[in-house]
Structure 1
Amino acid sequence: MSYCAQPHLTCSVTGANRGIGLGLVTALASRPNTVVFAGARDPAAQSLKDISAKHPNVHGVKLTLGDKADNEAAVAEIQRIAGQLDVIIANAVGISNYYGPLVETPISEFRDHWEINTLGNVILFQTAHRLLLASPSKAPRFAIISSGAASMGTYFPLRVAAYGSSKAAINFLVKVMDQEHPSLISLAIHPGWVRTDMGNQSALAHGMAEAPETVEYSVDGILARVDQATSKELSGRFWNFKASHEGMMWNIATEEIPW
């Protein structure tokens, strides 16, 4: 039985109204004994209305990345409805708005990317950690959807200095969470290069028609990592959604990705 299908588990997914986030909510919604909170800037989005109508265990909550008041209200809503929080998948990957060499990247782009991509997830953790660490499961998860573009050991020349550095910073904070909270299993997960709005924008910037991986394939790999992280030994590490040996420039052949 998967971790997120254990009795009475509450999972929260951010960035849930489209792309990978919506795919994660859809997959989790069909699991037994699982309550899913779908965090989005617009929880009344039609995509979330449709899935909530089909799955009464799915609850849309307003959660804007980096907005402390939104985060506090969302956590309070989770506590009111479910009384517990066992898994957070921080999927709201934020922005990847600039493609170009470091020497030409405006400092304002670094500030924007770090403010949203890095500090947005710090605010989420700071706001939710008390409820999360009190999880009756005794093995709460905080999984951050990172990016292979953040890896220095497996470097991709994608001209995304602002985006990649903001994700590398989040990876470091996954290690901090692991060290500071012995009961918490913290994970950074590379989701693949996925056919989302952001993924396709990046693909176009690098001369491709679209990103290579489907949302469904990415979601399957992400949830497998969350489900399989059953011991502290797997915490504080950077995981590939799926190892690939196809040899394409964007493929990573290892299960674990070097920082």
Structure 2
Amino acid sequence: MTSDLGDLRSPPSAPPVPLAARAIDVVREYGDTGNRVRALDGLSLDLPARRFTAIMGASGSGKSTLLHCLAGLDQPTSGRILLGDTDLGRLDDAALTAARRDRVGFVFQDGNLLPHLTAGENIDLGASLARRRPERGWRAELVERLGISDRLRHLPAQLSGGQRQRVAVARALLGRPDLIVADEPTGALDSESGSSLLALLRACVDEYGQTVVMVTHDPVAAAVTDEVVLLRDGRAAGSLSSPTRGRVLEHVAALAAGAGVPA
């Protein structure tokens, strides 16, 4: 007698999406007793690997503080930050420095390049500090893809804003980090350079399998990402998958008005 159980079984569930980073009940306070400012107020957030996530909210909502905590540049007053399975709060200073250097790539608004180093030296900075040689093939691919092969001997002052940001992206990607954090990376760029940089960050995810989390005020920039996370007063106030410029504007307007975030 044959069994029909095979027809009744549930389909196999999809494997869980790995997380590049997590914030768990994170509180971050600044200031002296009696004059404390709570930048993050019990915030929890999961950042799936190989995704492009935007963090948005009004000034003072905790966006940059969250980014700095995720990157190990700042430590929560309470709560936990996980980079993969690593609890950053449990690391000593040397291990935390190594985690920032080897597992996190940084792209800031001004590029944050060292002015006395050439573009090539800035790209290699993390490897130099770790006393290891960059992977030559990967480095060559990056500088060619980013269009800066002929700028490697130039100092940052000799580069345009867009070129400086391309150098910063190459530096961020060189060590194949677990997480790339970008704080208003298009804020100082013209529209053409900004669009080019966003396309590069998008390619980091789609072609190189990186994880990018970006703080931005720009709905056009947010529309390039996979998901927008909205913050208000240091707390998560909603999220938006597959964002478009119009939907981002609608959600940000509702957030600013203190209304519920649209579904």
Q: Where on the TM-score scale, by shorter chain, does this alignment land: which range?
A: 0.3 to 0.5
Structure whose alpha-carbon radius of gyration is higher: 2
Flag the structure with higher helix content. 1
Taking CA–CA contacts closer than 8 Å with sequence separation of 6 or more, which of the two structures ends up with the larger relative contact order? 2
| TM-score, scaled relative to structure 2 | 0.38
Which structure carries more strand by proportion? 2
